[in-house]
Structure 1
Amino acid sequence: MMTLLRLAIFSGLCLGAVSSTAGTLTKDGWEPSECGPKPIAPALNYDSVPGFNDSVAAINAWQQEALVYYSCMTKEANADVKRIHDKVEQQQKDHKDLVESINAETLDVKQRVENAPVVQPGQ
């Protein structure tokens, strides 16, 4: 059972590594987009011993599904954080480069104006 869980987690991580889609951000919050539906916890059945045993088995299976789901969710969240960070960093660099370019051009024009020969009126 543990080998199956490891295989499922590894497969999920591999799929996440090649996935180009990360989560979705809305006004209500962030949701993963590649992890499938969030596993719903089963209820315990106290009506009989076999029913209880079946519900414990269902809970064990749910825990494994939840582990895979939350591993996927974490991977998507980390991918989104990286994309946001990289985008902001690139925009800041682009802005800095533009400001430096404008400043250099302004300095060049200022120096040309200051070094231009003075023309007296009427000459």
Structure 2
Amino acid sequence: MKNTLLFSGMLASALALPGYAGSLSNGSWQPSGCGTVPEAPTVSGDGIDSYNKSIAAINTWQQKSRDYFECLIKEANTDNTIIAEHANQAQAKYRQTVEKIGAEADAAKKKLDKE
């Protein structure tokens, strides 16, 4: 019964989340589907027209940055969930193995004590 519940939980998790979101390389995590970080524009004080254009560029940059960082957070949260679930499943499997070995050792000891 426990194995059925564990398998059902793993299956539900696998269907709910993609296999991974970002990538980890040399200790640096990067989102995989967010594109690149938008480069910040500079404010121009060379005249009213150039100033207005730079403000428009800043507004565009802010929206693109907001979209990028929302994507980054979503991917990071997805990866965190996958990692935590994997670690929890590995710990549960380890505990089951320890319990099984303990029960086998107890049964063998009881059998030997009767001899």
TM-score (norm 2): 0.81
**Structure 1 residue ranges, 4+ long, deviating more than 6 angstroms after superposition:** none
User: Which residue of structure 2 lines up, in the alignment, with residue 80 of structure 1?
Assistant: 79
Alignment partners' CA distance in 1, 2:74 and 2:95: 31
For structure 2, list consecutive stretches of 5 or more residues without a partner in the other structure: 1-15
Note the alpha carbon deviations across 1:37-57, whole angstroms, 9 max, x for none.
111111112111101100100
TM-score (norm 1): 0.76
Partner amino acid, structure 2, of 1:88: A
**Post-superposition offset of 1:27:** 2.1
Alignment partners' CA distance in 2, 1:107 and 1:45: 79
Partner amino acid, structure 1, of 2:59: N
User: Which residue of structure 1 lines up, in the alignment, with residue 63 of structure 2?
Assistant: 64
RMSD between superposed Cα atoms in Å: 1.5
Identity %: 38
Greater Cα radius of gyration, structure 1 or 2: 1
| Pairs aligned (count) | 100
Partner amino acid, structure 2, of 1:37: T
**Post-superposition offset of 1:19:** 4.8
